[in-house]
């Protein structure tokens, strides 16, 4: 009996300790800061908000900026982004700087509630104190408050319990701001900070483990930015892989892509289109150069990427001669795709994407090619001017088998050596994606 009592006491003490740990508010370097005497100018905080692309996730098309409501799919159910305007009832108007810091860099709301890591606080943890302070000032003083209640998610009990996330954070979320590498120059370190921290590029481009954690958070892990499938899209690798990464891109071409949304290798689409429309095109030249410098320093993996792509003219000759009988997808390509992308798959310069050697087609997962064919691409808006060219949605014109055939054809044409896709894969995406999912969201931030 004494042993049972002792065991029960130890168990209760452990449970109490775990509960206190899971529900406590973490320490913030701003805990003892007094409110500033006057607001900062809006520009520094607005720029940090652009770097972090806050508007893309916390806004919906035709909605008020930062008022939340965007649906985000997870394996457990749907969650909806929250209102982060300074409304005191439904937003974050009552947050102190320390509470804001804990939400952004540690995933803990002002009431102690743990945030789902769909909020990229594992990346934001690396943001500097100065950037967090400027971001807080921007939201507190320069964003229009909006009274809009947050939508509850659809994750069922007990999976929707938040306190276990404290232990997820303990296992997977880093602590501490970005520390520059003294062996690297200023441009590399600035790019590393932006990619790893506010830019949270790994949230989409790094594969995840069984705990839905990013398998690496910086260049010390070979899986960092090596490509991943997320929410109906394949985010290609950003390392030096020649097929599925940036191995064939120069630093200047990376800068052009981030500045204009396009280059000779491709045009932004999917989630990257939203990141371009609302974030990267607003970055300074020095910051874009830093990002390019950092990304080009990340080595590829030949074992992962395979033999580098080389163009094969056999497909071009086959299509030019009209010898498409018995080649699944070839006739559909001539009718539906060749008028824009050409029989050589080269597109129209930087305006219509090349399909020959495109990383989205060489990817191990064909989900992006299927999604683009089904739902089309959104509108790229550079410098306030909408793009005149876009991939149309073909879901109403082609059935699952036809889409599978034409996607498989381009994944195996002009030297592309990617696996075919099935009608079942197309059917799954047809059911799970919204025909308007590629529509563009462009939002002014104030």
Both tokens assigned to 59: 């806004």
Could you give the 3-state DSSP secondary structure of residue 79? strand
- Backbone φ and ψ for 73, nearest 5 degrees, come out as -80, 140
SS3 115: coil
Q: Left (φ > 0), alpha (ψ -120 to 50) or beta: where does 298 sit?
A: beta
Mean pLDDT of the chain: 91
What integer pLDDT is reported at residue 22 of this predicted model? 61
pLDDT for 5: 57
289 Cβ partners below 8 Å, 6+ apart?
187, 191, 251, 255
Average pLDDT in the 362-372 region? 96
User: Residue 72: beta bridge partners?
Assistant: 79
- Contact by Cβ (8 Å): 393, 435: yes
Is 142 one of the annotated binding-site residues?
no
Instruction: Tell me if residue 139 falls in helix, strand or coil.
Output: helix
pLDDT at residue 306, rounded to an integer: 92
Residues 6+ apart with CB under 8 A from 167: 18, 22
CA–CA gap between residue 376 and residue 439 (Å, rounded):
9
| Cα 41 to Cα 229: distance, rounded to the nearest angstrom | 39
pLDDT at 442 over 70: no
Question: Nearest 10 degrees: CA dihedral of 392, 394, 397, 399?
Answer: 170
Mean pLDDT confidence for 337-359: 93
Q: What is the β-pairing status of strands 385-386 and 262-263?
A: unpaired
Confidence of residue 261 (pLDDT cuts 50, 70, 90): very high
pLDDT one-digit tens code per residue, 76-127 = 889 999 999 999 999 999 999 999 999 999 999 999 999 999 999 999 999 9
The per-residue pLDDT for 9 is 57
| pLDDT top residue among 296 and 377 | 296
Q: Is 265 annotated as a binding residue?
A: no
pLDDT digits (tens, 9 = 90+) for 128-164: 999 999 999 999 999 999 999 999 999 999 889 999 9
**Peptide bond before residue 158 is cis, with ω within 30 degrees of 0:** yes
The position carrying tokens 């910051």 is: 287
CA gap 404, 199 in Å, rounded = 34
pLDDT in tens, 35-56: 887 898 999 999 999 999 999 9
- 131 CB neighbour count, 10 Å cutoff: 23
Residue 128 exposed, middle or buried by CB count within 10 Å (0-12, 13-18, 19+) = middle
Is 141 among the annotated ligand-binding positions?
no
Lowest pLDDT segment from 17-26, 106-115, 282-291, 384-393:
17-26
- Comparing 174 with 6, the larger pLDDT belongs to 174
CB 404 within 8 A of CB 425: yes
pLDDT digit string, tens, across residues 187-225: 999 999 999 999 999 999 999 999 999 999 999 999 999
At 356, is the pLDDT very low, low, confident or very high (cuts 50, 70, 90)?
very high
Q: Is the pLDDT of residue 417 over 90?
A: yes
**Residue-level pLDDT at 388:** 81
Give the span between the Cα atoms of 363 and 311, in whole angstroms: 16
pLDDT exceeds 60 at position 445: no
Closest to 359 in 3D by CA, of 265, 289, 259, 228? 265
Do the beta carbons of residue 234 and residue 360 sit within 8 Å? yes
pLDDT above 60: residue 251: yes
The answer to whether residue 23 scores a pLDDT higher than 80 is no
pLDDT recorded at residue 19 = 52
Query: Whole-prediction pTM value?
Result: 0.91
Q: Give the span between the Cα atoms of 255 and 287, in whole angstroms.
A: 9
Q: What percent of the chain has pLDDT over 70?
A: 92
């Amino acid at each position: 009996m004494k042993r049972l009592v002792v065991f029960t006491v130890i168990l209760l003490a452990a449970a109490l300790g775990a509960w206190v740990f899971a529900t406590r508010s973490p320490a913030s370097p701003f805990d003892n800061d007094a409110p500033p005497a006057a607001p900062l100018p809006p520009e520094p905080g607005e720029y940090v908000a652009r770097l972090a692309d806050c508007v893309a996730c916390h806004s919906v098309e035709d909605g008020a900026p930062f008022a939340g409501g965007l649906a985000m799919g997870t394996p457990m159910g749907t969650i909806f982004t929250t209102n982060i305007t300074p409304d005191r009832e439904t937003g974050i108007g009552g947050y102190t700087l320390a509470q804001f810091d804990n939400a952004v860099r540690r995933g803990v709301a002002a009431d102690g509630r743990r945030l789902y890591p769909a909020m990229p606080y594992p990346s934001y943890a690396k943001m500097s104190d100065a950037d967090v302070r400027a971001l807080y000032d921007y939201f507190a003083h320069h964003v229009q408050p909006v009274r809009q209640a947050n939508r509850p998610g659809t994750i069922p009990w007990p999976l929707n319990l938040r306190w276990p996330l404290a232990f997820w954070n303990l296992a997977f979320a880093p602590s501490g701001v970005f520390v520059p590498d003294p062996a690297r120059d200023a441009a590399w370190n600035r790019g590393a900070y932006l990619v790893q921290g506010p830019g949270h590029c790994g949230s989409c481009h790094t594969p995840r483990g069984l705990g839905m954690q990013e398998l690496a958070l910086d260049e010390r892990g070979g899986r960092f930015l090596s490509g991943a499938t997320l929410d109906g899209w394949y985010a290609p690798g950003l390392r030096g892989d020649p097929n599925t990464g940036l191995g064939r891109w120069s630093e200047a071409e990376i800068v052009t892509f981030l500045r204009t949304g396009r280059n000779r290798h491709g045009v932004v689409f999917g989630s990257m289109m939203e990141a371009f429309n609302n974030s990267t095109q607003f970055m300074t030249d020095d910051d874009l150069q830093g990002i390019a410098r950092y990304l080009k320093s990340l080595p590829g993996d030949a074992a992962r990427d395979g033999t580098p792509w080389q163009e094969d003219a056999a497909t071009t000759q086959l299509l030019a001669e009209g010898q498409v009988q018995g080649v699944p997808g070839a006739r559909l390509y001539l009718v539906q795709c060749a008028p824009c992308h050409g029989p050589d798959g080269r597109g129209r310069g930087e305006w219509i994407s090349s399909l020959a050697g495109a990383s989205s087609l060489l990817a191990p997962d064909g989900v992006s090619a299927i999604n683009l064919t089904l739902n089309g691409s959104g509108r790229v808006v550079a410098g306030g001017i909408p793009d005149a060219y876009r991939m149309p949605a073909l879901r109403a014109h082609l059935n699952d088998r036809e889409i599978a055939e034409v996607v498989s054809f381009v994944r195996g044409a002009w030297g592309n050596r990617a696996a075919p896709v099935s009608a079942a894969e197309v059917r799954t995406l047809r059911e799970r994606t919204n025909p308007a999912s590629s529509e563009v969201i462009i939002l002014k931030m104030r």
